[in-house]
Amino acid sequence: MNKEVTSELVPPATTRKSDRINKDPRILQARKRSRDLYQKYQMDPSERNKQDYQDAKREIDNIYANILQEKLEGKITEKENADKNNQARSQLEVH
Summarised one tens digit per residue, pLDDT across range 51-73 is 999 999 999 999 999 999 999 99
* Nearest-angstrom CA–CA distance, 5 and 8: 5
In this prediction, residue 22 carries a pLDDT of 87
Q: Where in the sequence is the domain holding 25, given as residue range(s)?
A: 21-69
Closest CA to 22 of 80, 68, 54: 68
Regions of the chain where pLDDT drops below 50: none
Asked if residue 49 is part of any domain, the answer here is yes
Asked if residue 14 is part of any domain, the answer here is no
User: How many domains are there within the chain?
Assistant: 1
pTM (two decimals):
0.65
Asked if residue 81 is part of any domain, the answer here is no
In this prediction, residue 2 carries a pLDDT of 72
CB 52 within 8 A of CB 41: yes
